[in-house]
Structure 1
Amino acid sequence: MFIYFRDLSFNNLTGPLPRFPSKIFNIVGNPSICPTGSEPPCHGITLMPMSMTLNTSETALPSGRRKSHNFALALSSSIGCIGMLILGFGLFLWMRQRKKQQKFFDVKDGHHEEISLGNLKRFQLRELQIATNNFSSKNLLGKGGFGNVYKGYLLDGTAVAVKRLKDGSAIGGERQFQTEVEMISLAVHRNLLRLYGFCMTATEKLLVYPYMSNGSVASRLKAKPVLDWVTRKQIALGAARGLLYLHEQCDPKIIHRDVKAANILLDDYCEAVVGDFGLAKLLDHQDSHVTTAVRGTVGHIAPEYLSTGQSSEKTDVFGFGVLLLELTTGQTALEFGKAANQKGAMLDWVKKLHQEKRLDLLIDKDLKSHCDLIELEEMVQVALLCTQYLPSYRPKMSEVVRMLEGDGLVERWEASQRAEASKNKSQELILSERYSDLTNDSLLLIQAIELSGPR
């Protein structure tokens, strides 16, 4: 039988301390007892401890060491408790964040293979139907080749723009849709339209964006008050920076393929925000697996894209050049083409006025005299550089941004003019040689006719 505590106090015990089957015992009041039994006769020794702890292999710890041992135990226990609290709090935050994180899955995939989309919110279809009053025509903000856009208000009062994509039930589009949405969600820049969230069902695909209070550049060019020249320059620079991010700073690279005034939106401060990027590729895959289908707007489509169906970042540069002309003239390329009753007339007209140094006829009439003609010519030069026929001659968007900021335009324009002059000279030489050959052939023909005539 093992006794944990034994009290032997005040019993006038002497001699060596016996071994008892107990861990702790009290020996106070027994001044003649020896602590371990290994000492010589210990009569007269006064012992101070009130209690002792027995161990079959160790002697009792001295008071100082026992205190240090207890302190170490208390300290380690405290550190362990604090560590457990921190670990528990961290686990709680992780679980909370994971719960907030939305998951995106293919509606036709039975195993629901999930792709994480960060902070994008997944909206329920019913939620967006309520927000837009069941996609009422009264809430229609605009129509495009990729779908209609509706204004709506979420339950918390947040104003949003809901893009309802066409062909939402197209076979094979779900995986491409999730890939494109994930790509768009990763492209974050102050001059790119931010994606709030999405909704996907078997028949619907919707994207939710923040509402842009000043609408598109196309709509503001027709509205009052008129956009002043300084604001138009800021819009051009902001749109260029957004495209620069898509082309050269975003991974993977994104080609817009429909750069125009209607796809450049304006926030509360009229700062340019590029919208609809990445959707051209998405819709091409939904409509057909043929990747050469041309998407875009008449007057903005680069010639190589129109003829071959092959797009690159230089097709966006071409569209941006036309956008600069829209900002300058106050007319869209399509409107000007209809007025002139021919396609591509805007570029021809601008080139002609620039050669004749009559750019004052180019400026938007609503601006009247509130425009710097030197800055006007610089913007027109950038536009003409961007809309050159050969893609290799067009600048990159990084170069366009620098030129709009006033760096490198003079050198680039002079180099372009020298190349144009050299090309014209080569064409004249070729025409001259052809004319010379034709003349010689005509003389031979005449001689042949004369020889074959009557003698």
Structure 2
Amino acid sequence: LDKNNLSGQIPIDVAKLPGLTFLDISFNNLSGTVPKIYAHDYSSLVGNKFLCNSSILHGCTHLNGGTNDTVSRPSNKTKNHHQLALAISLSVTCATIFVLFFVCWLNYCRWRLPFASSDQDLEMELGHLKHFSFHGLQSATDNFNSKNILGQGGFGVVYKGCLRNGTLVAVKRLKDPDVTGEVQFQTELELIGLAVHRNLLRLYGFCMTSKERLLVYPYMPNGSVADRLREYHHGKPCLDWSKRMQIAIGAARGLLYLHEQCNPKIIHRDVKAANILLDGSFEAVVGDFGLAKLLDRQDSHVTTAVRGTVGHIAPEYLSTGQSSEKTDVYGFGILLLELITGPKTLSNGHGQSQKGMIIDWVRELNEEKKLDKLVDRDLKDSFDVAELECAVGVILECTLTNPILRPKMSEVLQALESNVTLAENGVDLNREALLPYGGSCSFSVRHEDPHDSSSFIIEPIELSGPR
């Protein structure tokens, strides 16, 4: 019966014929299970691909209540394939997650550990100053985004930043990180950090890498005096006369502390409105001090690089490079003039010749008793005449060409404080011209009121440790 294209199952009756001795049903299309064959030769079953377990004598094993293996085997194979695919997918997913986690952890360790060890070393050397990582300040300033620039000058660019704890800071990114070596930079920072006074901008921390030098200061919400003098700053009114005089006194207090309370003393060398900041109460805070090189115990210092702003630099410093406390006194005189006139007058000319002409103009108006023409028009005649006369006298004394003839900051502060105190108390300032150029206050004036709150005697709360 071979090769007859037979189909269907093998009949059980045929398979059980007792007299059957030979059965050849190979190469047909038979299907189903193979019954027990009583023939002596049962090997001729090949070629029937649909027969189940055709090579086993006793037939197929029935599953699921009679379902043959021909149906069940493909089902099991499909199920096994699905399970294998699912296992492979889960394994690949878990492996990918693990690799990503490991890479992130490795990068974090590479970023964190070097700064952690550096923090520990530098903290011991610089005392209370906090060491910041470059990445931390980069994040705080939104990668030094130009939108966060608060100002820029000869020393670098200042950015507004927000630390992780929400504290607002001002980050100064110095222009010339290679000018000072690592040891010199740390030494100067430590000395600057010791200068603590309510009228000085306190150094909060720093960052030092092989390519970067950054200083971190508290954020001053009212900006700089230069900002506030420009009519209206972000909708805020301009500074009134009273605030301007208090700013002058606060700046004088800060400079006096740098000159006479710090050891070694610190010469600012760039006293101007842009470097006088204002806190939340409009208290003057002197910034950028100590960024020029610190002085030793000598009375003067000669430097090959003149640091400062043209128009605010003393003649002797510009011509010879020699600076002293009197260099700052000269800059304070120009600052006081800027507080009175506003920024427009000084911004009309940037050269030394224009600056000298402005001082000659002030001297001329003082002699002609026309000082009201000096006052900023934005004040609209809201100023105190006696305080104006005293302030002009201070300006002319501070800007004398010979630095020896200029007053000390202690004398400047006393003159301003005594004049403002008398005016606030309603005392009649009917006195003769005591200054060389006819000003109505004198540097020889001493406080006779024991209750006067002169900052010449600095309260202990304003100091921080020995100097």
TM-score (norm 2): 0.61
Partner of residue 24, structure 1: none
Distance 2:287 2:392 in 1: 24
Higher helix proportion, which one? 1
8 Å CA contact 1:259, 1:316 repeated in 2: yes
Residue 239 (str. 1) matches residue 259 (str. 2): no
- For residue 197 of structure 1, what is the aligned residue in structure 2? 205
Instruction: Report the CA distance shift for 1:332/1:365 in structure 2 as closer, same or farther (over 3 A).
Output: closer
2:230 is aligned, of 222, 229, 234, to 222
1:387, 1:368 → 2: CA distance?
Answer: 27
Query: Which residue type is aligned with residue 272 of structure 1?
Result: A
Amino acid at match of 2:152: K
Give 1:101 shift. 12
Is contact 2:311-2:351 (8 Å) kept?
Answer: no
| 1:416 maps onto 2:424 in alignment | no
Q: CA distance change for structure 1 residues 173 and 333 in 2, over 3 Å: closer, same or farther?
A: farther
Q: Which residue of 2 aligns with 1:373?
A: 385
Equivalent residues of 1:337, 1:346 under 8 A apart: no
User: How far 1:414 sits from its partner (Å)?
Assistant: 2.6
Residue 321 in 1 paired to residue 333 in 2?
yes
2:338/2:346 contact within 8 Å kept: no
Question: Counterpart of 1:151 in structure 2: which amino acid?
Answer: K
From 241, 250, 261, the equivalent of 2:262 is 250
* CA shift for structure 1 position 405: 1.0
Which residues of structure 2 form unaligned runs of 5+? 1-115, 295-301, 423-428, 439-467
For residues 391 and 316 of structure 2, the distance between their equivalents in structure 1, rounded to whole angstroms, comes to 24
> 1:145: which partner in 2?
154
Distance 1:137 1:271 in 2: 27
Shift of 1:292: 2.6
Q: Secondary structure at the match of 2:206?
A: strand
Contact 1:299 1:333 in 2 (8 A): no
Q: Does the CA-based 8 Å contact 1:200-1:206 persist in structure 2?
A: yes
Q: Which of 151, 164, 177 in structure 1 is aligned with 2:173?
A: 164
Alpha-carbon contact 2:204-2:218 (below 8 Å) kept: yes
Moved over 4 A (4+): 99-105, 338-341, 407-413
Structure 2 residue aligned with 1:117: 126
1:130 pairs with 2:136: no
The answer to whether structure 1 residue 280 and structure 2 residue 300 are counterparts is: no
Deviation at 1:263, TM superposition (A): 0.3
Is the 1:161–1:209 contact (alpha carbons within 8 Å) kept by the matching residues of 2?
Answer: yes
Distance 1:213 1:404, change over 3 A: same
Q: 1:332 to 1:313 in 2, by over 3 A?
A: farther
Distance in structure 2 (CA, Å) of the matches to 1:412 and 1:400: 19
Aligned to 2:35: none
Cα RMSD after superposing both structures: 2.9
2:367–2:437 Cα contact (<8 Å) kept: no
Paired residue type of 1:149: V
Equivalent residues of 1:322, 1:333 under 8 A apart: no
Question: For the residues of structure 2 that align with 1:122 and 1:159, how far apart are their CA atoms?
Answer: 16
Q: Can you list the C-alpha shifts for 1:91-142, whole angstroms capped at 9, x where unaligned?
A: xxxxxxxx9996565xxxxxxxx86222211000000000000101010111
Question: Aligned equivalents of 1:195 and 1:373: distance in 2?
Answer: 38
Alpha-carbon distance in structure 2 between the residues aligned to 1:116 and 1:133 = 29
What percent of counterpart residues are identical?
A: 66
Bigger radius of gyration: 2
Q: Distance in 1 between matches of 2:352 and 2:331?
A: 20
Displacement of 1:374 in angstroms is 1.6
Aligned length: 306
Query: Which of 174, 185, 199 lines up with 2:182 in the alignment?
Result: 174
Q: Would you say 1:207 and 2:207 are equivalent positions?
A: no
User: What are the Cα deviations for residues 276-323 of structure 1, in whole angstroms up to 9, with x where unaligned?
Assistant: 0010117xxxxxxx8232111111111111111000000000000000
- Structure 2 residue corresponding to 1:335, chosen from 347, 366, 388: 347
2:323 aligned counterpart, secondary structure: coil
Aligned partners of 1:101 and 1:126: how far apart in 2? 14
Question: Are the structure 2 counterparts of residues 382 and 277 from structure 1 closer, same or farther at C-alpha, using a change threshold of 3 Å?
Answer: same
Q: 2:410 matched to which residue of 1?
A: 398
Mapped to 2, the partners of 1:190 and 1:214 lie a distance apart of 16
> Hey, what does 2:305 align to over in structure 1?
293
Offset at residue 198 of structure 1 (A): 0.3
CA contact (8 A) 1:102 1:116 kept: no
For 1:405, what is the secondary structure of its paired residue? helix
**In structure 1, what residue type is equivalent to 2:212?**
E
Counterpart CA distance in 2 for 1:120 and 1:393 is 39
What amino acid maps onto 2:258 in structure 1? Answer: L
The whole-number CA distance in structure 1 between the counterparts of 2:313 and 2:354 is 15
1:179/1:340 Cα in 2 relative to 1: closer, same or farther (>3 Å)? closer
Deviation at 1:177, TM superposition (A): 1.2
Given residue 118 of structure 1, which amino acid in structure 2 is its aligned partner?
A: G
Q: Normalized against structure 1, the TM-score is what?
A: 0.63
Contact 1:147/1:165 (<8 A) preserved: yes
User: In the alignment, residue 370 of structure 1 is paired with which amino acid?
Assistant: S
> Which amino acid in structure 2 is aligned with residue 207 of structure 1?
L
| Residue 386 to residue 182, structure 1, CA distance change in 2 (3 Å) | same
Deviation at 1:373, TM superposition (A): 1.4
Q: Matched residue of 1:194: which SS?
A: coil
CA gap of 1:228–1:334, structure 2 versus 1, over 3 A, is closer
Shift of 1:345: 2.7
